[in-house]
Structure 1
Amino acid sequence: MLLTGSPQVRLPLVALLAAACTAGLLLSPAQAADAPADHDRALRAQLRELTSAPGGPPGVIAVLTRGSRTQILRAGVAETGAERPIEATDHMRIASTAKAYSGAVSLQLVDRGKLRLADTIGHVLPRLPRAWHRVTLRQLLQHTSGLPDYTEDPEFVSLLTADPRRHFDSRRLLDFVAAEPLRFRPGARYSYSNSDNIAVALMAEAVTGRRYEDLLARLVYRPLDLRSTSLPEGYRMPEPYMHGYDVTPPDAPEDVSEALSASGVWASGGIISTPQDMTAFVRGYADGKLISDRTRRQQLDWVDGASEPAGPGENKAGLAIYRYTTRCGAVYGHTGNFPGYTQLVAATPDGERSLTFTLTTQVNKTNKPALLKRLRTVEENFVCALLRTS
């Protein structure tokens, strides 16, 4: 398994038998009357194909929102051995899409004069290694910092493998790579690192004197009315939740929903939310309503770089946000993967149209490259459906 892009770590978990997959479409009567039936049938078929693919998820849900109209398409089940379909109110691990939340916090602090994009680790977090001191907040948010990725550290991986539910001190995660130099000169190139967003959260705490969890509640959850979103330290999932699985044929899917402690990923990928809340978040985040126009212009200064896993179409990296340019147009958002879950959230630049796409197994370029290629094609087709005008 991979921790949002870390080397693969297999965990000894109790296997559960997979159930036959079902599919469905949830629309209000008024929406159903307007829905292009052929398009919807094709989209539903693609979701079913994902659940039946080798290594595919037991369940998948896609939420498409156009203005005030919401369409939910899904396939499979929320839990193997049961017939309950995934609901938009089911909890899930949002994986590295949590990095967009640290962006939402830090960019608002920039607007409030608490932080500057040019602020360095040395200025705000002087206890961190001197070799890292010239790295700026901008570079952390855009993954051009050169910070070594703590989730790739052998000691971290060994501790996690020995006890997947181990409680880490989230604010000391960077200690695992404190002896390492930068991997390249800050700003020289793009390289995705889970360490970046740990440092961003620590910066936010340092300049406000508030816990990162409190800043999330104050600056993100409340303004966007996110009522089912949290950043826990433990491994428990709140009910109801969609179960996440390790799917490695020929073995039966193993439930890994509560296999790992969120303390080991914290601001880099530990948030729990629901498709409903994620929809509200990405609409508010992508349209820039949380930040000033000046800060948004800097956020949307793109460089070559893909999210992990790569999103649909051509990927470009901004500050804690990505642009996915598909054959049908561009959307802004973020992806993520964590044992048991793979995520995409995206919205049009005005926030009027959005897509939240969730699989209940982990898919990335390391563990399932062929399935990721297939997934990106399906995601692009869903973006095209989202953007179509008729």
Structure 2
Amino acid sequence: MPRTHRRRLLAATLLAASVMAPFATAPATAVPAAVGAGPHHGDDCPPGGLGHELTAKLDRTVEDVRKQAAVPGLVVGLWLPGRGCYVRTSGVADKATGQPMFADTYVRIGSETKTFTVTALLELVDEGRVRLDDPIDTYIRGVPNGKKITLRHLAEMRSGLFPYTSDPEFIHDLYSEPERQLEPWEALSYGYRHKNIAEPGKTFQYCNSNLVLLGLVIEKVTGRPLRDVIHERVVRPGGLRHTFLPEGAEFPEPHAHGYSNQTLTGAVADTTDWNPSWAWAAGGMISNLRDLRHWAPVLATGELLSPETQKQRLKLLPTGFPGTSYGLGILKTNGWIGHNGSLPGYETVTVYLPEQKATMVLILNTDSLVAGGQEPSTLVARAITRVITPDHVYAGGITPR
């Protein structure tokens, strides 16, 4: 049933990304929510789909970790072949009205966008239109050390480029004017002011500049806008119906409000209408639970790619984060394959465990860090996987801060 959500102006002063205090949220009780699925993945998930005992344990875990991580609203989706499924919502979608969180919310998926951008690139690799070991200078001029940095280096986060999101002026500009439309070249220019941090291939450094450049490569090779390429080559063939790269701040209904303390004062802001154009190919996309559930196995098994290209994608390298390695726009964390995402006000996790053919999708309407600087989505994912897959506890995702 469609919902209409009132939007409100930002009530808090916009703040600096360095202030990361957690905030309190209104309590809510976890409730069942049946979520539809495409024919490729089976039937809806009924209440109690994992049996009474395990369902009750998960209910307690979900509510406890949501409160611990100070998450206003949370959606959890688990699909475990041979065991059952579990879909729950907890908390609120709107702190002002107390509206309960709902399972069919659209959400800004942040860095999960990288999985779509790199999939589109790898399809061009399969067609022989680009090569992973081509230097970026072949396609895009003006990149620092662009004759040595390859498309592979960019996709695996080993280009050595300085991340534009780490530039102090970018941070100030973003949080001072969060509804501003930012073009890809404008975003990249913030990073180009700095020397590269390393030689290509030497160091893992999570860097949105890499994916913005790959988005520009895709546009140059295809002659099409990136949003159209992702839709035609990835979203539609992947069987997704509610996933897209917006042009600006548009956000379809229904959607939960997003909350962040990544502001200049540390006050919590409603970020629902902030413009994600600055993240573009690296983090600008929107999706929902149904589509993310479907996307997880498509991505992890390489359904849209040749076996050889998927093998290249899954050449995982250390990241410096214990238990987590990174390939070409994809990560592996203690057996789970996929990606996490974080954007002001929203976090997501979409991962697949090939060993059990299990899928986990998490949607949070906050990105405010908790004690120790941990992502709230990481705390939630760890707590849940300790219950459902104790031999494969989620170690952690990777997002820039």
- Is TM-score (shorter-chain normalized) higher than 0.5? yes
Distance 1:372 1:30 in 2: 22
Aligned length: 364
Normalising to structure 1: TM-score of the pair?
0.84
Question: Of 21, 40, 48, which residue of structure 1 is paired with 2:28?
Answer: 21
Cα deviation digits, residues 196-227 of structure 1 (max 9, x gap): 11111111111111111111111111012222
Question: Do 2:109 and 2:346's aligned partners in 1 also have CA atoms closer than 8 Å?
Answer: yes
Is 1:358–2:358 an aligned residue pair?
A: no
Which residue of the partner structure matches residue 272 of structure 2? Answer: 257
Which residue of the partner structure matches residue 238 of structure 2? Answer: 224
Which residue of the partner structure matches residue 294 of structure 1? Answer: 308
Question: Of 322, 333, 358, which residue of structure 2 is paired with 1:324?
Answer: 333
Which residue of the partner structure matches residue 5 of structure 2? Answer: none
Q: Using the TM superposition, name which of 273-282 and 346-355 deviates more.
A: 346-355
Distance 1:190 1:121 in 2: 18
Which residue of the partner structure matches residue 128 of structure 2? Answer: 113
Q: Quick one: structure 1 residues 29 and 201, their matched pair in 2 at CA, closer, same or farther if it must change by over 3 Å?
A: closer
Question: Do 1:97 and 1:336's aligned partners in 2 also have CA atoms closer than 8 Å?
Answer: yes
Which residue of the partner structure matches residue 144 of structure 1? Answer: 158
Q: Quick one: structure 1 residues 185 and 230, their matched pair in 2 at CA, closer, same or farther if it must change by over 3 Å?
A: same
For residue 229 of structure 1, report the CA deviation from its aligned partner: 1.3
Question: Of 114, 122, 134, which residue of structure 2 is paired with 1:99?
Answer: 114
Question: Do 2:106 and 2:286's aligned partners in 1 also have CA atoms closer than 8 Å?
Answer: yes
Cα deviation digits, residues 78-119 of structure 1 (max 9, x gap): 222445443332111101111111111111111111111101
Q: Quick one: structure 1 residues 131 and 30, their matched pair in 2 at CA, closer, same or farther if it must change by over 3 Å?
A: closer
Letter in 1 for 2:33: L
Letter in 2 for 1:115: V
Q: Which runs of 5+ in 2 are unaligned?
A: 1-15, 35-42, 394-401
Question: Do 1:341 and 1:360's aligned partners in 2 also have CA atoms closer than 8 Å?
Answer: yes
Normalising to structure 2: TM-score of the pair?
0.82
Distance 1:205 1:109 in 2: 11
Letter in 1 for 2:347: T
Which residue of the partner structure matches residue 343 of structure 2? Answer: 338
SS in 1 for 2:162: coil
Structure 1 residues 367-378: aligned runs within 5 Å: 368-369=373-374, 374-378=379-383
Distance 2:267 2:196 in 1: 41
For residue 26 of structure 1, report the CA deviation from its aligned partner: 3.1
Cα deviation digits, residues 1-55 of structure 1 (max 9, x gap): xxxxxx71679xxxx99543121123589844652322221211121113322x5
Distance 2:231 2:255 in 1: 21
Distance 1:204 1:383 in 2: 39
SS in 1 for 2:93: coil
Letter in 2 for 1:145: S
Letter in 2 for 1:87: F
Which residue of the partner structure matches residue 59 of structure 1? Answer: 73
RMSD (CA atoms)? 3.1
Is 1:177–2:186 an aligned residue pair?
A: no
Is 1:280–2:269 an aligned residue pair?
A: no
Question: Do 2:17 and 2:171's aligned partners in 1 also have CA atoms closer than 8 Å?
Answer: no
Distance 2:360 2:246 in 1: 25
Question: Do 1:57 and 1:245's aligned partners in 2 also have CA atoms closer than 8 Å?
Answer: no
Structure 1 residues 184-223: aligned runs within 5 Å: 184-223=198-237
Question: Do 1:19 and 1:81's aligned partners in 2 also have CA atoms closer than 8 Å?
Answer: no
Q: Which runs of 5+ in 1 are unaligned?
A: 1-6
Distance 2:282 2:315 in 1: 22
Distance 2:126 2:192 in 1: 30
SS in 2 for 1:78: strand
Which residue of the partner structure matches residue 380 of structure 1? Answer: 385
Letter in 2 for 1:43: L
Is 1:315–2:324 an aligned residue pair?
A: yes
Which residue of the partner structure matches residue 245 of structure 1? Answer: 259
SS in 1 for 2:367: coil
For residue 254 of structure 1, report the CA deviation from its aligned partner: 3.8
Which residue of the partner structure matches residue 63 of structure 2? Answer: 48
Question: Do 1:9 and 1:161's aligned partners in 2 also have CA atoms closer than 8 Å?
Answer: no
Identity %: 27
Distance 1:253 1:40 in 2: 33
Question: Do 1:88 and 1:275's aligned partners in 2 also have CA atoms closer than 8 Å?
Answer: yes
Distance 2:288 2:193 in 1: 38
Question: Do 2:32 and 2:47's aligned partners in 1 also have CA atoms closer than 8 Å?
Answer: no
Distance 1:202 1:51 in 2: 38
Cα deviation digits, residues 278-305 of structure 1 (max 9, x gap): 1111221111101000001111111101
Q: Using the TM superposition, name which of 228-237 and 268-277 deviates more.
A: 228-237
